[in-house]
Amino acid sequence: MYLASAKGNEEENDMNRKTSNDHWREKLSAEEFRVLREKGTERAFSGAYDGETGPGEYVCRGCGELLFDSDAKFDSGSGWPSFTSPIEGTNVLESEDRSHGMLRTEVSCGNCDGHLGHVFSDGPAPGEQRYCINSASLRLNEREE
């Protein structure tokens, strides 16, 4: 689990978590709000980043917090962008999720508390982790190779 904030500013992080739903509704599309703020899940194979292979860094759609690097992205065949791990030192939090009659590990942005997706232990070696993330919760900052 990665807990250190890339920004390192606890007061700012607390403020972002407590931002009102009205603010989020103004800032996000309806789908982004449903995923990030209401813990929704986009339909498999419908997200913009499922098949994305370009280089860059993935940040939280809600607050811009650095989360994942394209070097950790792989095609899991699940229909959602999948990563082997978050960027070291980023603010990606994991918590128990017992919704829908299942026991899973939810992944959220530690800066704004936005729902990102879930992590499963069926990823590739060596870490065998699959961070299954909704495209609606991400924005890709492309980089040139």
Catalytic residues: 132
For residue 96, report the phi and psi dihedrals to the nearest 5 degrees: -70, 135
Partner residues linked to 94 by β-bridges? 107
| Token pair for 133 | 């993330």
**Cβ pair 40, 34 in contact under 8 A:** yes
DSSP 8-state class, residue 42: P
CB-side neighbour CA atoms (13 Å) of 21: 6
